[in-house]
Amino acid sequence: MSPDRSQGAGQSIEDAVVLAAALRRYDTERRPRTQATVRGARKDGARATSPAANRLVVPMLRLMLAALWRKGLSPNGNSIWRWQPPRLPVRKP
């Protein structure tokens, strides 16, 4: 911002307000999906904490068909593989 407009600080405050609103929307959009992924990872980690379990699970995962593996990751239909980006509002010129 050039100094002849005396807008540097004011524009920075406006930027902060817009970014805060964007971060709130970002959190609203992303939190459910990321929390579901974290819960799934924790459950998987809890199941495979012993070396004996790892010796059994890892070879089974390597042999499993990708489609079956993906289905196993989403037993309730909320697949991490079905993510679609949000539709952004179209601005009219």
Residue at 65 is within a domain: yes
Residue at 2 is within a domain: no
Q: Which domain holds residue 70?
A: 8-75
Residue at 62 is within a domain: yes
| pLDDT score at 69 | 67
Q: How many domains does the chain have?
A: 1
Element (H, E) at 34: helix 8-47
Distance CA 58, CA 56 (A): 6
Q: Spell out the per-residue pLDDT of the chain, length 93, in tens.
A: 677 778 888 889 999 999 999 999 899 988 988 898 888 888 877 766 677 777 887 787 777 777 676 666 655 555 677 778 888 788 887
Three-state DSSP state, 33: helix
Residue at 90 is within a domain: no
Residue at 92 is within a domain: no
| pLDDT score at 1 | 63
Element (H, E) at 73: helix 66-73
Residue at 21 is within a domain: yes
Residue at 67 is within a domain: yes
Distance CA 80, CA 74 (A): 7
